[in-house]
Chain A
Amino acid sequence: MAGGKARWIYLLFLIGFFIFILINPVLLEGFLRVLFPRETMHIYQRIPGIVLVRQHLVMVSVSTLIAFAIGFPIGIFVTRRSGKDFLPAVNDLVSLAQTFPPIAVLALAVPILGFGFRPTILALFLYSILPIVRNTISGLESVPEEVYEAARGMGMNSRQRFLQVEFPLASRIILAGLRIAVIINIGTATAGSVIGAGGLGVPIVSGLVWNNPALVMGGAIQAALLALIFDQFIGLIDATFLAKFER
């Protein structure tokens, strides 16, 4: 694919830069010192950056995996003959729930599960299941009727039709749904630090509370980099492995 190499270099640059400022905060600290000469603390020191990144990644990956494990089969079920009755209702529910702001879902989880790690994962899961279900449905529905009929005509059974025809043709749209889920989760997990979930939002929120813009900015740079890395990474998986299913 054209521009593929440039995108790999961009991704490697992002990852390299991210790791560099993570294990060696001197550069970031110097930069923040120029911007905010009056602050006494420029880098969040209570919890090491690597721990915050790990917390963030655990929250995002656990919630996205559960959402995919549940949302993907739901999307398949409602596009089969046996589940067709549920398709309009699922579509309506998903588009209704999509208007809920992610931060609202996060805040709603607190009265149910309290503060901390688990309610954040629940909220991330609940929200990220929406784009996964929606894109699984629209991906599978976008497979042209003729292609489907041709596969039938070749004598494929429904399992073969799904695995060899429908799923590959739908895979790009499904991956796009997964990408939206991951990006929203990284963003919402940042806000998760407000309810005590840890992660890269911790320096941002602490900085806001202590009125220290240097901390806010440092945390924001890391959170933004993490989101950009995942966005590029999924985009590259799509371009490298799935672009051949372009229709």
Chain B
Amino acid sequence: MIRIHVDRVAMLGVIFGLASFLLPFFRIKPSRLAGGSPSSWLESLPFSALGLLIVLWLMIGLLSLISKSHSMAAFGAGLGGNLIIILLFFWAGFQAQVVLPEEYTFGRVALGAGFWIMILGAYLVILSARKTWRGNNWRGLLLSWVGLVGIALLLVGGGLDGISVMEELSIRKNRFRQEFFNHLFISFSAVGIATAVGLPLGIFIYRKKIWEKPVFFLTNTMQTVPALALFGLLIGPLAFLSRRFPLLRELGIGGIGWFPAMLALILYALLPIIRNTYTSFQILDEKIVEAGKGMGMNSRQLLFQIQLPLALPLILTGIRTSLVQTIGNTTLAALIGAGGFGVFVFQGLGQAAHDLILLGVFPVIGLALIADKIMQQLVIRLTPKGIAVEEGGD
């Protein structure tokens, strides 16, 4: 007898998926800046596509009834979710040119709420399947990656060019590349410098405890101050300095530009790194350090052969937090003339051009997610075998 134990998370996904049919699939806009009118699923997609989507959702729904007790059913449902995501992006790109009325020469087709809600539903189904197929077996990896690889291929292959955000990109490809490198450069050098400063500082306050309180007070205060305000606070002193010392001005150091942005981001990124370095040394087992001393290690050997390797995972976790936060905050740096993807966000906000805002926002989110995943893998890989804890999920 099949014991029925419904997978409620996947079921929620199915509900989202089916409910999304009630919301518009596209928004069709007569021009780049116009508000546009909704276009339903019936108007946007061919019948065959609609039929296939409905069949897929019903199948996922049926599989979710038994997927708690049958792992292959969970796998099937997860694959179905991935397939839905790929199909949605494919048809969105394909139909975008088809649905645009002839008289809209400068018309744009943007993705509607229904599209995004269905993606969310499919994502919930995949999440739930990933709980059954956790870890790095091939089925689990397939569930995590098929959809993403599909979207990436469509993106690279030009399959999505008809969608309004991509049209916004096509008219400023060079600028996009330039701001991409700006964004990467600012974020990564800020976190790099913050690590170079924060790591030794964390070790220092572990050894000289009287400095612990003042250092944490200062870095905590930095983190509390709003990012925009921190940029603002640096403008004054730096503008003052660059007026006084022309040499600094020639180096490009002033109240506006990449320098104050980088400085603010470094100050912002320090706390997680210092805190995690300090904590990782603090919680290190006294006995291990004593054993090292007993083996005749000097303090330098202790640091490099025992303390640092054991502290590394937690330190890297701090750098991960800093990196994700910095990639986001670099967006604001555009306000003080430092460049980065924020340029598109704030231009878009200024012109009320929604597609331009999205062109700035999507890559920032993508970068943050990728950086997060890479750092997560790095933490897992660099954890010494002796202290490794089994970690599930992706």
Contacts and interface: CB of A to CB of B under 8 A. Distances in A.
Interface of A: 32, 35-36, 85-86, 88-89, 92-93, 96, 98-104, 107-108, 110-111, 115, 183, 186-188, 190-191, 194-195, 201, 204-205, 207-208, 213-214, 216-217, 219-221, 223-224, 227-228, 231
A103 B331 contact: yes
B224 A220 contact: no
18 contacts: A35-B239, A85-B8, A86-B12, A89-B124, A101-B327, A104-B331, A104-B361, A104-B364, A107-B345, A183-B223, A186-B226, A191-B227, A213-B235, A219-B229, A221-B229, A223-B226, A223-B232, A231-B220
A208 B335 contact: yes
Given A35-B239, A100-B368, A107-B357, 6 more contacts: A93-B127, A102-B328, A104-B365, A187-B226, A194-B346, A224-B226
A201 B228 contact: yes
A99 B372 contact: yes
Contacts of A220: 228-233, 235
B228 A191 contact: yes
A189 B236 CA distance: 22
Contacts of A208: 232, 335-336
A231 B124 contact: no
Nearest to B9: A89
Interface stretch (B152-160, B299-307, B348-356): B348-356
Nearest to B393: A92
A37 to B, nearest CB: 10
A213 B239 contact: yes
Contacts of B225: 187, 223-224, 227-228
Nearest to B342: A103
B40 to A, nearest CB: 18
B245 interface: no
Given A99-B324, A104-B328, A205-B335, A88 B131 contact: yes
A183 B8 CA distance: 35
Contact of A213 (B223, B255, B349): B255
Given A186-B226, A204-B228, A35 B240 contact: yes
B235 A216 contact: yes
Contact of A228 (B127, B221, B327, B348): B221
A224 B233 CA distance: 9
A-B pairs with lowest CB-CB distance, top 5 = A101-B328, A220-B232, A187-B226, A220-B229, A111-B354
A241 B364 CA distance: 40
Interface in B276-305: none
B128 interface: yes
B191 interface: no
A111 B236 contact: no
A104 B369 CA distance: 13
B236 A217 contact: yes
Given A36-B239, A110-B354, A213-B255, A183 B127 contact: no
Nearest to A184: B226
Contacts of A194: 335, 346, 349
B9 A85 contact: yes
Contacts of A213: 235-236, 239, 255
B372 A187 contact: no
Contact of A101 (B348, B358, B365): B365
A169 B233 CA distance: 39
Contact of B232 (A89, A100, A188, A204): A204
Given A85-B9, A101-B365, A217-B235, A227 B226 contact: yes
Interface string B119-160: 000001001100100000000000000000000000000000
Contact of B227 (A89, A187, A221): A187
A190 B236 contact: no
Contacts of B327: 101
Most chain B Cβ neighbours within 10 Å, of A110, A195, A228: A110
Nearest to B346: A194
Which one of A98, A104, A208 has the highest number of Cβ atoms from chain B below 10 Å of its Cβ? Answer: A104
B80 to A, nearest CB: 17
A201 B332 CA distance: 13
Given A102-B328, A191-B332, A208-B335, A183 B224 contact: yes
B360 interface: yes
A164 B153 CA distance: 55
B329 interface: yes
B7, B221, B225, B393 interface centre (most CB from chain A within 10 Å): B225
A224 B9 contact: no
Interface in B191-239: 220-221, 223-233, 235-237, 239
Contacts of B230: 220, 224
A92 B228 contact: no
Contacts of B127: 88-89, 92-93
A122 B329 CA distance: 20
B277 to A, nearest CB: 21
